[in-house]
Amino acid sequence: MLRIAIQKSGRLSDDSLNLIRECGISFISSSLKLKTESTNFPLEILFLRDDDIPGYVADGVADIGIVGENVLVEEGKQHLTVEQLGFSKCRLSLAVPKATEYKSVADLEGMNIATSYPNILQNFLDENGVKAQIHTISGSVEIAPSIGLAEAICDIVSSGSTLISNGLREVERVFKSQAVLIANEDLSEEKREILAKLLFRIHAVQRAQKTKYIVLNSPNESIERIKELLPGIKSPTILPLAEEGWSSIHSVVQEDAFWEIIEKIKDAGAQGILVVPIEKMIV
pLDDT at 282: 81
Helix (H/G/I), strand (E/B), else coil: 218: strand
How far CA 182 is from CA of 54, 56, 101, 224, in Å, comes to: 8, 11, 41, 46
pLDDT at 188: 96
Which long-range CB contacts under 8 A does 131-135 form with residues at least 24 apart?
132/108
Strand partners, 90: 177
Cβ distance 86 to 178 under 8 Å?
yes
CA–CA separation, 40 and 17 (whole Å): 15
pLDDT at 77: 93
Cβ distance 247 to 218 under 8 Å?
yes
pLDDT for 5-48, tens place per residue? 999 988 899 999 999 999 999 998 766 678 999 999 999 999 99
Report DSSP letters for 110-143, one per residue.
T-EEEES-HHHHHHHHHHTT---EEEE--S-GGG
CA–CA separation, 51 and 61 (whole Å): 14
Which long-range CB contacts under 8 A does 157-162 form with residues at least 24 apart?
157/90, 157/91, 157/92, 157/93, 157/95, 158/90
Residue type, 55: G
The H-assigned helical ranges of the chain are: 11-22, 53-59, 69-74, 118-127, 161-165, 189-210, 223-229, 255-267
Edge-to-edge strands, sheet with 112-115: 133-136, 112-115, 152-157, 90-97, 168-177
CA–CA separation, 239 and 66 (whole Å): 44
Entry pTM: 0.83
Report all structural domains of the chain as residue ranges with CATH numbers, in order of start: 2-87+179-187 (3.40.190.10), 90-176 (3.40.190.10), 211-277 (3.30.70.120)
The parts of the chain modelled with pLDDT lower than 70 are 30-32, 232-234
Give the mean pLDDT of the chain: 91
pLDDT at 259: 80
pLDDT at 232: 61
Residues in the chain: 283
